[in-house]
A and B are shown apart, each in its own frame.
Chain A
Amino acid sequence: KNEVEQSPQNLTAQEGEFITINCSYSVGISALHWLQQHPGGGIVSLFMLSSGKKKHGRLIATINIQEKHSSLHITASHPRDSAVYICAVPPGGSQGNLIFGKGTKLSVKP
């Protein structure tokens, strides 16, 4: 059974701080997803990555397949980054449905 663990569960930061959210999973995967859920509930896909690093604006995602670990970094955090960040992986290496971590609730204070 593939399990996805995220840490921390809750994170409060001051505007401008560098943020790191971690995700660990238990079995081999083909790709890992990072999602952002806004307070209203809407979910946006941030990254899908299978190796190395991806960058989009102030967001950086890294993955270490051997260590079964991924991190999401936010540089120069801003209050609008406040959201729940969710890590997800396909079970059993499949490319279809996903298993989700419980999410990390980030609150960035001005």
Chain B
Amino acid sequence: SQTIHQWPATLVQPVGSPLSLECTVEGTSNPNLYWYRQAAGRGLQLLFYSIGIDQISSEVPQNLSASRPQDRQFILSSKKLLLSDSGFYLCAWSHSGYEQFFGPGTRLTVL
């Protein structure tokens, strides 16, 4: 069966520090991968999605970036965090045309 992992589960970082969140999927190949953010009191927002290795599409301009160095690994990064980057970050996978499966999420607090 397929599983999706995210780490860390929680993170507290100072403004201006770098960020690296990792997501890995097991039990499937060639998945579509997604990074979403849920800011406090707001709905889910798509940040990045990827249909293959090194193929990343960005949905919103921001100081975040994403990379997919391996088929089942998706990384969300920032060189300098902003206060507005605080939120709940969710990774998800799917095969095109089918339902999405979400990871457990990372709660990021930028102070």
Residues of A within 8 A of B (CB): 30-31, 33, 35, 41-45, 48, 86, 88, 95-103
- B43–A43 CB distance below 8 A: no
How many of chain B's residues touch chain A, expressed as a range?
A: 20 to 34
Whole-angstrom CA separation of A3 from B107 in the bound complex: 26
Among B43, B98, B99, B101, the residue within 8 A (CB) of A100 is B43
Chain B, residue nearest A88 (CB) = B44
CB-nearest residue of chain B to A101? B43
User: Inside 8 A of B42's CB, which chain A residues have their CB?
Assistant: 102
**Chain B residue with minimal CB distance to A49?**
B99
Apart from A43-B105, A96-B32: 18 A-B pairs, beta carbons within 8 A: A30-B97, A41-B104, A42-B102, A42-B104, A42-B105, A44-B102, A45-B100, A48-B99, A95-B98, A97-B34, A97-B46, A98-B44, A98-B46, A98-B100, A100-B44, A100-B45, A101-B43, A102-B43
Which 6 pairs, one residue from A and one from B, show the smallest C-beta to C-beta distance? A43-B102, A48-B99, A95-B97, A100-B44, A102-B43, A41-B105
